[in-house]
Amino acid sequence: MLLFVTGGTGFLGRAVIDALLAAGHQVRAMVRDPRHKLPSAVDAVEVGFEDGGRLRELLSGVDAIVHLAGKVSRDPKDSAAMHHLHVECTQKLLDAAEAAQVKRIVLASTSGTIAVNAEPRRLATEDDEPPFELIGKWPYYTSKRLQEQEVLRRDKKGTIEGVVLNPSLLLGPGDERLSSTADVLNILNRRVPAITDGTVALVDVRDVAPMFVKALTAKRGERYLLNGANMSVRSFVERVALAGGVGVPKLKLKTSWAVAGAKFMESVAEVLDRVPPIDAVSVDMGGYHWGCSSKKAERELGFVARDPQATITATVRYLEEKRLFRRS
């Protein structure tokens, strides 16, 4: 197949492009900056979502689109930028796809549009309704949910064939922009003063990437949760600390107290014109439960997840190689 890929220079994007090429597909990748390096086999094209005519031209003859472009941020100040990229730019891409008669669209979303709860409960599945009262607190998840709805709405209408993949927290080597692995780095650099009582869901980017190949021929209109492991925040922190040879925070706080402390440190850092040791949004999120099941993806896509400690160890080693963390 000839595939058009957006977001190919990101953490997930690079892994997906490698998987697509390994499967024998031709890849045409959308780039905004020619300095971003992609494999030589990739046809890198400079084009923006706003370039409707040029975009339609580049989509001519394409068999499917793999839409990975996104912005991962917990900063409320990025709300407008995330809505523009995830919702408005996706609408422009879908308009161009329809004009160029490209049917198949595989969208990269996140498990957080489905799998988050205030209280511990059974693992979330694809059949669960989105908890709008929770994801509405975080602009990233709100914009990603609206993005999913746009793809699935057009699939139901019959103008495209949409498939949505929902990976949990992406870890593993290769996250140059720290889009997903910042939590690991904070633990390694002892910027997590206390442990909250939530749960974490994580998956290896190397296990997720091949699923985009499988999604090219999956049943239209489906979504698939991709998750490698569910564990408590304490277990996650302990596993990262073990891999990095650092100490584990001994203090455990209720989420409300931890958030209050984080907000206080943010206010002090603002007065001193410094970067706060940790942001209150991340602390708040750490008090929720993000567990989900990948049974459907295992059954229909052949998804297999490696041992989570292997993923965490590979992430730590990558951060160490990049000199973002120095082992004691």
State how far the alpha carbon of 33 is from the alpha carbons of 45, 197, 228, in Å. 9, 42, 33
Whole-angstrom Cα distance, residue 157 to residue 262? Answer: 46
Calculate the average pLDDT of the chain: 90
Residues 124/117, Cβ–Cβ less than 8 Å: yes
Q: Sorting pLDDT into bands at 50, 70 and 90, what band is 257?
A: very low
CATH number of 2-172+202-227+291-306: 3.40.50.720
**DSSP single-letter state for residue 124:** B
Residue at token pair 């308009």: 95
Whole-angstrom Cα distance, residue 9 to residue 69? Answer: 9
Q: What's CA 176's distance to the chain center, in Å?
A: 14
Which pTM does this prediction carry?
0.92
Q: Which residues make Cβ contacts (< 8 Å) with residue 73, sequence separation at least 6? A: 81, 82, 139, 140
Whole-angstrom Cα distance, residue 67 to residue 247? Answer: 39
Between 267 and 32, whose confidence is greater? 32
Between 256 and 215, whose confidence is greater? 215
Render pLDDT for 131-143 as a digit per residue (tens, 0 to 9).
888 889 999 999 9
Both structure tokens of 93: 């891409």
Both structure tokens of 3: 């595939």
Residues 168/111, Cβ–Cβ less than 8 Å: yes
pLDDT above 90 (res 211): yes
Nearest to 318 by CA among 205, 175, 168: 175
pLDDT above 60 (res 271): no
Both structure tokens of 228: 């490698």
3-state DSSP percent of the chain in helix, strand and coil, to 5: 45, 15, 40
% of the chain with per-residue pLDDT over 70: 89
Parse the chain into domains and list their residue ranges.
Answer: 2-172+202-227+291-306
Phi/psi at 63 (5° precision): -85, -30
pLDDT the model gives residue 117: 92
Residue type, 300: E
pLDDT the model gives residue 131: 86
Nearest to 90 by CA among 6, 178, 179, 210: 6
Whole-angstrom Cα distance, residue 198 to residue 78? Answer: 25
Terminal C-alpha separation, the chain: 49
% of the chain with per-residue pLDDT over 90: 74
**DSSP single-letter state for residue 88:** I
Residues 255/283, Cβ–Cβ less than 8 Å: yes
Q: Which residues make Cβ contacts (< 8 Å) with residue 135, sequence separation at least 6? A: 112, 113, 116, 141, 142, 145
Handedness of CA 291, 292, 294, 297 (dihedral sign): negative
Whole-angstrom Cα distance, residue 315 to residue 202? Answer: 12
Between 283 and 115, whose confidence is greater? 115
